[in-house]
Amino acid sequence: MTGTVVAVDVGGSGLRLQTCAVRPGAVLTAPGVRVGAGGIDVAALVADARALLASRAAGGEGEGEGADRGGRGGRDAESGPGAAAPEVVVWSMRGLLFLADRTEVLRIVAAGLGGRRTVVVSDAVANLVGATGRVGPGAVVAAGTGAVAFGTDFDRQWRRVDGWGHVLGDAGSAAALGTAGLRAALRAHDGLADGSPTLLGLAVDLLGPPELWPRQVMTTPDAPERLAAVAPLVSAAADTDPVALALCVRAGTDLGESLLRAADGLEAPHLAATGGLLAAAPVADALDRRLALAGAHRSPAHGGALDGALHLARQLRDTGAIPEHPAYLVSC
């Protein structure tokens, strides 16, 4: 089949949109999730996405992040003035599982973007499809500011592990590693065992005196991001500081355990891991060791949630079908 598809991924750091007719176009961006008295403002996000599509139709550059993977920028054949309605719109959204009425999100997206077919999907599913490059049995763990694992066969088993936020969960995340680093720093400050003078010095350079830390990382709206900013200090110190190394190993092991649980029960699952924390070698190595203990291994991630949304959109356009699930993936 032919026709333009639109993929949108909405996360805390921004909204990203990509169209594809014959080949993917440039990625356009807008602000991310906004939460009002009634929860996530889906209508405002849809308006942002519609504005990005209009800018492409008018020949504008929008706020693109550069050329597509093939090195080609510019517009798709259907992006010019007078472009037809998209054949398919796939809207990947962080926080979808915590919304009471997913069909209302579907209605708003369908009405606002005008796709002939519209799909609303959890970012956990889009991240899995993007990471594995396919719609098939697999599991992925995402290790960014937060951490969540997800595994499915796209039929009977759909399992999410963790993703409960930096206070209640997100084991192995950058926020969790940063928290552990600050705790080790404070133990050194207080003269207790298992503290790290190295991490204390690094954290003071970043955050100021320890007396200021509680307010910064406990009472501010951006507390998870502030905690996550400490994680690179911990991973950088791991080469010389045994306490920092142990914390990185714990983080990687936690991620491995979440990934294995998400994949449990799947037949020959494709395993992957994504997220900025995996750039820290001690964390990634510990993750791989935990998988190896279970006789498993992960493959390199192909892409992210936007890639997964685009894959789903093209599959629906070309085959007329994609899996559905009342909590994770709904369409009209």
Q: Please tell me the number of Cα atoms within 13 Å of 219 on its side-chain side.
A: 5
* Residues 73 and 174 reside in one and the same domain: no
Shared domain for 308 and 263, answered yes or no, is no
pLDDT number for residue 84: 72
* Alpha carbon distance 149, 161 (integer Å): 5
Q: Which domain covers residue 24, as residue numbers?
A: 5-133+303-331
Give the model's pLDDT for residue 96.
79
Kindly write down the DSSP assignment for every residue of 218-233, as one continuous string: HSSTTHHHHHHTTHHH
- For the residues of 241-281, what is the DSSP string, one character each? -HHHHHHHHHHHHHHHHHHHHHHTT-SS-EEEEESGGGGSH
| Domains identified in the chain, total number | 2
- Average pLDDT of adjacent 10-residue blocks, the chain of 332 residues: 87 86 90 65 91 78 40 38 78 80 90 94 94 95 93 95 91 97 98 97 96 91 92 97 98 98 96 95 98 96 94 94 90 91
- Between CA 66 and CA 182 the distance in angstroms is 37
CA distances from 242 to 177, 178, 232, 247 (A): 15, 16, 15, 9
Residue 146 lies in a domain: no
Cβ contact 283:248 at 8 Å: yes
What CATH number should be reported for the domain holding residue 70?
A: 3.30.420.40
144 belongs to a structural domain: no
Where residue 144 falls (left for φ over 0; alpha for ψ -120 to 50; beta otherwise) is: beta
116 & 223 share domain: no
Q: Judge whether 325 lies within some domain.
A: yes
At CA 264, angle to CA 263 and CA 267, rounded to 5? 80
Strands 117-122 and 329-331: antiparallel
